[in-house]
Homo-oligomer: A and B are copies of this chain.
């Protein structure tokens, strides 16, 4: 999915959260779907740190639609664990880009995964090119 080797220059962003009781299941560990919720927490923080707001996107009638998500689970997370989510963009195309995530408790890697997003016109729900200014901020590199 890389764009002719376009370098992704923006650094990874880390954010932390406490495991909520609501996020655990009867096995005593965090329920597997909740890692995708945490990915979203990482993604939103990543976007905030790039100085982009969802309000800005909406003003341009742009939406971000998830088209694929994946997660590999290595070790369980437990209630009240302090979790760190590391988020970065590793690939970008004309309309789509991929976020990568690592979920850690201290030094232990608990899970990792990715989501693929498409930039869409919010009304027509159709893919549009990522605007150059946004692209530069988003990817931390040159727009092409």
Cross-chain contact A72 with B67 (CB below 8 angstroms): yes
| B28 pairs with A41, CB closer than 8 A | no
B residues in contact with A29, CB < 8 Å: 26
A22 within 8 A of B: yes
Number of copies: 4
Judge whether A44 is part of the interface by a CB distance below 8 angstroms: yes
A79 and B67 within 8 A (CB): no
Asked if B31 and A22 sit within 8 Å, CB to CB, the answer is yes
Stretch binding the partner chain, chosen from A32-40, A87-95, A134-142: A32-40
B67 contacts A68, CB within 8 Å? no
Q: Is the CB of A20 within 8 A of B33?
A: no
Give CA–CA (A22, B44) in the complex, Å: 12
Convert A49-87 into 0s and 1s, putting 1 for each residue whose CB lies closer than 8 angstroms to a CB of B.
000001000000001011111111100001110000000
A66-B73 contact given A36-B32, A40-B22, CB 8 Å threshold: yes
6 cross-chain CB contacts under 8 A: A22-B37, A33-B69, A44-B80, A68-B70, A69-B70, A69-B71
